[in-house]
Amino acid sequence: MSDQAPSFEDLYEDAPCGHLILSPDGRLTHANRTVSRWLGYEPADLVGKRLLDILSIGGKVYWETHVRPLLRMQGSVEGIALDFVQREGVVVPAFGSVTVIRNADDVAVEMRLAIFKAVERRQFEQGLVSARKAEAERGRLADESLRTERQNAELREQFIAVLGHDLRNPLAAFAGGLRLLARENLSERAGKLTSMMSGSAARMSELIDNVMDFAKGRLGGGIVLDRNAHAPLGPTLLQVVDELRTTHPDRAIEVELSIDEPVDCDRPRIGQLMSNLLGNALTHGAPDLPIRLTASTTTDILEIAISNGGSQITPAAMEKLFQPFFRGDVRPSQQGLGLGLHIASEIAKAHDGMLTATSSPEDTRFVFTMPLVRG
């Protein structure tokens, strides 16, 4: 055969694909040697069988429900998967194309089916199907856990807000009681004790304010300002300093105020910001070195700076300083929630201002700046 030109018959019989010719009612009238070999039949044995007899169950149903209607409508179908079944029952995955041949009177006379074995392609497709299933499942699980996480976070924050709110009233009663007690004729020891307790109550009140501000921020409320451009800011700042001096009589706080311009700000909030910064300096600063507070205005900016001596803040800690719940290395008894600096920076942002920190071996310095008037 090799010394002769290949005949079309050879091309048909031993083509690299299987050829099947069917009568219009779906019976095989020809099968080439290639497909006969794949399926384990002699070509003659295949003739007369229904195509459905050599298809897998999936192939049969697909042929009946999809391929036949398509062939009737458009005369050909390309690139369909069809699983065949060998004489011994083994499934042969294949894909192929079908064309309906019509005579001059437009009557269908036969169907021609070319098929390719598609073992690897089928494995690939099955892999795709599995991957799609797994992907959908992963996506579903991820969505679910994200949703649960969000719900939990929201619940936690609502819980904090409610708890903070409910703690305020008994704490106010407690502080009021202490104020009444302080007016009584107390012994020196009792006087010191009530003063310490008042300091603790004030500190608790600040913690609650910070926690509630944080929770509100997370719940979408944000920090709401009640600005006033006319009331003086100086007395508010001095009052905060006085309170802290009372509760920390052994610490030196040096104050230098030169607020010459009106500041369009929420004074209690600026007081809270400063109280948080001073509280931070009292906790982390060296006890034997003074804390310095300066507040001044230029023609368009308010600047409040608070510095303290003591050990330098590490670069790693500097990065996280203003994040919520960040706590530096302090004695456990001094640990707060780690919200003070975070809330202070949020108050600064609410005023279109900035809060920055620098730290050297000599001193640690926080600077708050904000525009005097709203932009």
Q: Which of 168, 79, 77, 88 is nearest to 125 (CA)?
A: 79
Closest CB 279 distance from other proteins, rounded Å: 56
For the chain, the residue count is 375
Closest CB 66 distance from other proteins, rounded Å: 5
Considering the rule CB under 8 A, would residue 89 count as an interface residue with other proteins?
Answer: no
Q: In this complex, which beta carbon is closest to other proteins, that of residue 76 or of residue 358?
A: 76
Give the helix/strand (H/E) hosting 293: strand 291-297
Considering the rule CB under 8 A, would residue 59 count as an interface residue with other proteins?
Answer: yes
Task: Find the part of the chain contacting other proteins (CB under 8 A) among 122-130, 209-217, 243-251, 331-339.
Answer: 122-130
Considering the rule CB under 8 A, would residue 60 count as an interface residue with other proteins?
Answer: yes
Q: Which of 239, 260, 358, 340 is nearest to 302 (CA)?
A: 260
Tokens of 329: 């290395």
Pairing of strands 291-297, 253-258: parallel
**Which residues lie closer than 8 Å to 102 by C-beta, 6 or more apart?**
75, 108, 109
Interface residue with other proteins, options 48, 69, 177, 249 (CB under 8 A): 69
Query: Which strands, in side-by-side order, build the sheet including 363-371?
Result: 253-258, 291-297, 301-309, 363-371, 354-359
C-alpha 26/C-alpha 33 separation (Å) is 20
C-alpha 83/C-alpha 104 separation (Å) is 33
Closest CB 68 distance from other proteins, rounded Å: 6
Considering the rule CB under 8 A, would residue 46 count as an interface residue with other proteins?
Answer: no
Q: In this complex, which beta carbon is closest to other proteins, that of residue 129 or of residue 229?
A: 129
CA 271 from chain centre, in angstroms, equals: 34
For every residue of 29-82, DSSP letters joined together read EEE-HHHHHHHT--HHHHTTSBGGGGB-HHHHHHIIIIIHHHHHHHSEEEEEEE
Interface residue with other proteins, options 7, 76, 152, 298 (CB under 8 A): 76
Interface residue with other proteins, options 14, 42, 78, 288 (CB under 8 A): 78
Considering the rule CB under 8 A, would residue 26 count as an interface residue with other proteins?
Answer: yes
Q: In this complex, which beta carbon is closest to other proteins, that of residue 83 or of residue 213?
A: 83
Considering the rule CB under 8 A, would residue 144 count as an interface residue with other proteins?
Answer: no
Q: How far apart are the first and last CA of the chain?
A: 94
Task: Find the part of the chain contacting other proteins (CB under 8 A) among 12-20, 34-42, 126-134, 151-159.
Answer: 126-134
Considering the rule CB under 8 A, would residue 29 count as an interface residue with other proteins?
Answer: no
> How far, CA to CA in Å, does 221 sit from each of 107, 212, 224, 247, 269?
76, 11, 8, 32, 16
Tokens of 366: 């926080």
Considering the rule CB under 8 A, would residue 52 count as an interface residue with other proteins?
Answer: yes
Considering the rule CB under 8 A, would residue 235 count as an interface residue with other proteins?
Answer: no
Q: Are 54 and 84 in contact (CB under 8 A)?
A: yes
Closest CB 133 distance from other proteins, rounded Å: 9
Considering the rule CB under 8 A, would residue 70 count as an interface residue with other proteins?
Answer: yes
Task: Find the part of the chain contacting other proteins (CB under 8 A) among 7-15, 53-61, 174-182, 366-374.
Answer: 53-61
Q: Are 318 and 359 in contact (CB under 8 A)?
A: yes
Interface residue with other proteins, options 125, 243, 261, 303 (CB under 8 A): 125
Considering the rule CB under 8 A, would residue 218 count as an interface residue with other proteins?
Answer: no
For every residue of 104-160, DSSP letters joined together read TTS-EEEEEEEEEE-HHHHHHHHHHHHHHHHHHHHHHHHHHHHHHHHHHHHHHHHHH
Task: Find the part of the chain contacting other proteins (CB under 8 A) among 34-42, 58-66, 233-241, 264-272.
Answer: 58-66
Q: In this complex, which beta carbon is closest to other proteins, that of residue 59 or of residue 353?
A: 59
Task: Find the part of the chain contacting other proteins (CB under 8 A) among 56-64, 275-283, 286-294, 334-342.
Answer: 56-64
Query: For binding to other proteins (CB under 8 A), which residues are involved?
Result: 25-26, 50, 52, 56-62, 64-66, 68-70, 72-81, 83, 95, 99-100, 122, 125-126, 128-129, 132
